Amino acid sequence: MQALLGIIFHSLGGMSSGSWYMPYDWVKKWRWEIYWITGGLFSWLIMPFIATVITIPDWQGILQAADGRVLRNTYIMGLLWGIGGLTYGLAIRYLGMSLGNSVLLGITSVVGSLGLPILRNIPIMAKILPDGLSFTDLFGSPGGRIVLLGILILLAGIILSGRAGIMKDKDLGGHKEGVNTEFKLAFGLFIAIVSGVLSAFFSFGIDTGKEMGIAARELAVQASYPLLAGGEGGAPVTYLFENNIIFFVILWGGLTTNLIWSIALIIRNKTGKDFIDKKTPLVSNYLFCALAGTTWFLQFFFYGMGETKIGNGASSWTLHMATIILTANLWGFWRKEWKGVSKKTYTTILVGIGAILLSVIVIGVAKWLYPELNALG
């Protein structure tokens, strides 16, 4: 039952993540930096604060008592992830929901699985990251070799998706319309790669901030909070919302990065007047930005709930990525992002997406069959 609940929660989180960008389609006459930071305030500040206050007992006391190193390193992970979140918006802008998410999330899955083992070989990062398996450990175990197979499948899927993007660019030529008007393949792929690598640091941040989650769980137990689970038959006690305090710190890092960049763009482009320009549909714009930002936060709200059921190191990140890829591509096809392309191009992107999804499933199965791989991160 716990595993089933975990799958349900992760699926809800993945659907939120795959859908949150859609409300921005209905924001009118605002420049990108305006609607990005408006929605971002709900994503990284307002909703995390509300969730923390409501669900975490003595959250202020937890932050005050937390080890300074834990706070600092969790915040640093958030800063790095924030760059990935910022460039995510640009990747979707130039590649579209379907191609952008497929490439970006495929890369994130690789980094989420191999990033920590590789980084542990770097002395300065080894001091920050929790202990666990190294990259060379993968070659010495059946589970590790399955993970590597999944990564090879993933790389094939990314190459096919990129190939489909090149074919799309040729098919459309100068006749880009609708959501394809800003399609820029080379720049979009570069941004997607940067975003895909750095977006995985959110998962690393969860591991880095675990002490705060444990403190929240212990306080919840003492206060007899509902939604506690486990504790019988050797199973650890968990609290459904214990990760919200970790998200609160990670997202402060993300807020810092995105706020600096957005303010810089607003100053450079002189777009600050958009916030109060009555010639734009202000009320609906703010509402759609709030909807986008809130939906974005729900991905990790549900992710945190699922993680308490099946663990961050097992299939959590994999289930999350798989559901996002499916949802984002359904939206991408609904938005007719591949309208006007040849049948060969359409088939290529479908095969590429299928390979990426298969790779995510292969990696998840490996971690499920071989629990020692949980230490990958």
Confidence of residue 197 (pLDDT cuts 50, 70, 90): confident
Question: Which of 192, 209, 161 minimizes the C-alpha distance to 84?
Answer: 192
Query: What Å distances lie between residue 210 and 15, 45, 70, 320, CA to CA?
Result: 25, 20, 9, 19
Model confidence pTM above 0.75: no
pLDDT category at 232 given cuts 50, 70, 90 is: very low
Q: Which two tokens stand for residue 175?
A: 């006749």
Q: What's 101-169 look like in SS3?
A: HHHHHHHHHHHHHHHHHHHCCCHHHHCCCCCCCCHHHHHCCHHHHHHHHHHHHHHHHHHHHHHHHHHHH
pLDDT (tens digit, 9 = 90+) per residue, 199-208?
Answer: 878 878 888 8
Closest CA to 25 of 352, 337, 345: 337
User: For residue 319, how many other CB atoms are within 10 A of its CB?
Assistant: 24
Token pair recorded at residue 290: 């709030």
Write down the pLDDT at residue 132: 64
Asked if the model's pLDDT at residue 375 lies above 80, the reply is no
Burial of 30 (0-12, 13-18, 19+ CB in 10 A): buried
* Packing angle of the helix pair 185-199, 68-95 (nearest 10 deg): 160
Q: For residue 287, what are the CA distances in angstroms to 26, 281, 355?
A: 10, 10, 37
Residues in the chain, total: 377
Mean of the pLDDT values across residues 318-327?
72
Residue 123 amino acid letter: P
Instruction: Out of 18-27, 127-136, 206-215, 340-349, pick the least confident.
Output: 127-136
CA distance 124 to 127: 6
pLDDT grade for 106, boundaries at 50, 70 and 90: confident
State how far Cα 236 lies from the chain centre: 27
Task: Check residue 328 and give its pLDDT.
Answer: 75
Query: What are the residue boundaries of the structural domains of the chain, listed by start?
Result: 2-376
Task: Look at 169-183, 219-233, 247-261, 331-345 and tell me which has the smallest mean pLDDT.
Answer: 169-183
> What phi-psi label fits residue 96: left (phi over 0), alpha (psi between -120 and 50 degrees) or beta?
left
Query: Which region among 81-85, 170-174, 253-257, 258-262 has the lowest average model confidence (pLDDT)?
Result: 170-174
**The predicted structure's pLDDT at residue 180:** 54
**Of 209, 211, 159, nearest to 189 (Cα)?**
159
Question: Lowest mean pLDDT: which of 88-92, 138-142, 150-154, 248-252?
Answer: 138-142
Q: Distance between CA atoms of 16 and 22, rounded to whole angstroms? A: 10
Dihedral sign of CA atoms 140, 146, 151, 153 in order: positive
Query: Does 186 score more than 90 pLDDT?
Result: no
Report pLDDT for 229: 61
Helices and strands, counts by H and E, the chain: 16, 2
Q: What is the pLDDT of residue 189?
A: 82
Please give the residue that has the higher pLDDT: either 59 or 376.
59
CA 309 vs CA 130, 362, 367: distances in Å: 21, 20, 15
Q: Please compute the mean of the pLDDT values over residues 241-263 and round it to a whole number.
A: 93
Residue 212, sorted as left (phi over 0), alpha (psi -120 to 50) or beta, turns out to be alpha
pLDDT tens-digit series, residues 332-373: 778 787 788 889 988 988 898 888 778 777 876 776 677 666
Mean pLDDT of the chain: 81
Q: Worst-scoring range by mean pLDDT, 129-138, 215-224, 238-247, 273-282?
A: 129-138
Calculate Rg over the CA atoms of the chain: 21
pLDDT of residue 355: 85
pLDDT of residue 90: 79
Least confidently predicted of 27-31, 92-96, 266-270: 92-96
Mean pLDDT value of segment 50-76: 93
Number of other residues whose CB lies within 10 A of the CB of residue 182: 12
Closest CA to 104 of 298, 315, 373, 353: 353
Confidence band for 269, pLDDT divided at 50, 70 and 90: very high
Residue-wise burial string across 82-104, b where 16 or more C-beta atoms lie within 10 A, e elsewhere: bbbbbbbbbbbbbbbbbbbbbbb
